Amino acid sequence: MPDLTALAHPIGDALVSSQGYDVEMIRRDFPILGTRVHARSGKPGKPLVYLDNAASAQKPRAVIEAMSRCLEQEYANVHRGVHYLSQRTTDAYERVRDKIAGLLNAGSREEIVITRGGTESINLVAATWGRKFLGPGDEIIVSVMEHHANIVPWQLLQSERGIGIKVVPCDERGVLDLDAYRGLFGSRTKLVAITHGSNVLGTVTPAKEIAAIAHHHGVPVLFDGSQAVVHGPVDVQEIDADFYALTGHKLYGPTAIGALYGKRGLLEAMPPYQGGGDMIAEVSFAGTTFREPPYRFEAGTPPIVEGIGLAAAIDYVRAVGLDAIAVHEHALLERATAGLNRIEGVRIVGTAPGKAGIISFVMDGVHPHDVGTLVDQAGVAIRVGRHCAEPLIERFGVGATARASFGLYNTLDEADALVEAVAGVKEFFA
């Protein structure tokens, strides 16, 4: 049972009841889940079965209300007002830093940089740490499972600085090849930037081991936690992560907000990211000095309302409990996996042990795009394509996949609805 007395705000009805995980109660916290899709004159439409959570998750009422409350009652700019509302807004906004630090078990709130999302968090490291510490001939290690957000920023540095990028392969199940990883280190290896959870395969990578191996070589590690942080508890100290990136909108929070955890020593050694207000200590035309981390990396008016929304989202998932969410999603995953495996001609791409609630699959003779359009008619929302991970799609030689991804509010009936819709697709194209 989560300790709800520890929460600053009431978080709605979604309490894990003494009977266990009460998904029906949780669903009532998400207004959008009552939507019917494809309603047309004379037709009521289909109940929404939302299985595109890895792309973006829906928002609980607690988040929506926290954001409206801010806009309706307590909105002003932050960090710069002497007046009442500015102070109130600043306090509320700064709380998100505490919430993120709590979620990741960071050693201190100053190790949390608030960003506009997972993409910006990684770009920030590439643009500051990377520009300062990487030169021609230096190497970084990524994996074949990366989202483009953890490939392209490094490629930009590659063309700017002439760094080398080495790629850790994975096996047929989507398990990272740790032996190959060990073999990639050399005297010029300066950084490991690797996903903690694949948005395509659902693989959760062994972060602690990855970090230990890198540290053995004296190399820091950045984890792309955009997916991993949603599917189970993460403790950056226990992993011993040097950087950890996350994004708000997959965590049931708003868009355009995310965070970067960075160990204090690393952040302190990094130059600013963007220049502007809020990040400076003193400005004169003779020279400007910059604030301490994390503020040095937060130029300009931040995403205030979004920050307040993210704080509410973190309260929400922690109240439900990340352990409980992981168990629930695992049950959904098993149900859908078993169901899809029973359909002849369907092949699941990504079968790593202990994977998160994400299922990519392909179907003999039917392109994923057609699968997506068809199951959508049954109300089932999934994503199809290359999922911003083209090298990985290439690795599995499939061209594209259909992907269902589960969230904390999905039900076993919805897992069945997916399977039934996919079985229908097969029949349609038979």
Binding residues vs another protein (CB under 8 A): 38, 365-370, 372-374, 377-378, 384-386, 390, 393, 399-400, 421, 424-425, 428-429
424: partner contacted, choices another protein, ligand PLP, none (Cβ within 5-8 A by kind): another protein
Give yes or no for a contact between 166 and 184, defined as CB atoms under 8 angstroms apart: yes
Q: How far is the CB of 123 from ligand PLP (least distance, A)?
A: 9
Q: Which stretch binds ligand PLP (CB under 6 A): 224-232, 284-292, 315-323, 349-357?
A: 224-232
Give the CA distances from residue 101 to residues 124, 150, 273, 280, 295, in Å, rounded to whole numbers and listed in that order: 18, 22, 21, 23, 15
Q: How far is the CB of 224 from ligand PLP (least distance, A)?
A: 5
Residue found under tokens 């790629």: 167
Cis peptide before 206 (omega within 30 of 0): no
Give yes or no for a contact between 188 and 136, defined as CB atoms under 8 angstroms apart: no
390: partner contacted, choices another protein, ligand PLP, none (Cβ within 5-8 A by kind): another protein
Catalytic residue among 184, 352, 388, 422: 388
377: partner contacted, choices ligand PLP, another protein, none (Cβ within 5-8 A by kind): another protein
Give yes or no for a contact between 257 and 303, defined as CB atoms under 8 angstroms apart: yes
Q: Select 125 or 346, whichever has its Cβ closest to ligand PLP.
A: 125
For every residue of 47-80, DSSP letters joined together read E-EE-BTTT-----HHHHHHHHHHHHHS---SSS
Residue 118 sits in the site that holds ligand PLP (CB under 6 A): yes
- Report CA 329 to chain centroid distance, whole Å: 16
Residue found under tokens 């990639």: 184
Judged by CB under 6 A, which of 29, 111, 139, 224 binds ligand PLP?
Answer: 224
Q: Which stretch binds ligand PLP (CB under 6 A): 135-143, 219-227, 279-287, 317-325?
A: 219-227
Give the CA distances from residue 317 to residues 6, 62, 66, 248, 302, in Å, rounded to whole numbers and listed in that order: 14, 11, 15, 12, 23
Residue 149 sits in the site that holds ligand PLP (CB under 6 A): yes
Residue 263 sits in the site that holds ligand PLP (CB under 6 A): no
CB atoms under 10 Å from CB of 342, counted, come to 10
Give the CA distances from residue 294 to residues 94, 108, 118, 120, 221, in Å, rounded to whole numbers and listed in that order: 12, 11, 16, 14, 19
Structure tokens at 207: 């972060």
12: partner contacted, choices ligand PLP, another protein, none (Cβ within 5-8 A by kind): none
Q: How far is the CB of 177 from ligand PLP (least distance, A)?
A: 19
Q: Select 202 or 379, whichever has its Cβ closest to ligand PLP.
A: 202
The verdict on whether 388 is a catalytic residue reads yes
Give the CA distances from residue 95 to residues 16, 99, 199, 255, 393, in Å, rounded to whole numbers and listed in that order: 25, 6, 29, 18, 39
Residue 199 sits in the site that holds ligand PLP (CB under 6 A): yes
Judged by CB under 6 A, which of 147, 263, 296, 335 binds ligand PLP?
Answer: 147
Residue 12 sits in the site that holds ligand PLP (CB under 6 A): no
- Binding to ligand PLP (CB under 6 A) within 364-403 occurs at 388
Total binding residues toward ligand PLP, as defined by CB under 6 A: 13
Residue 123 sits in the site that holds ligand PLP (CB under 6 A): no
Q: How far is the CB of 151 from another protein (least distance, A)?
A: 14
Q: CA-CA distance, 365 to 363, in Å (whole number)?
A: 6
What amino acid positions are annotated as catalytic residues?
388
Residues that bind ligand PLP (CB under 6 A): 117-119, 147, 149, 195, 199, 224, 226-227, 247, 249, 388
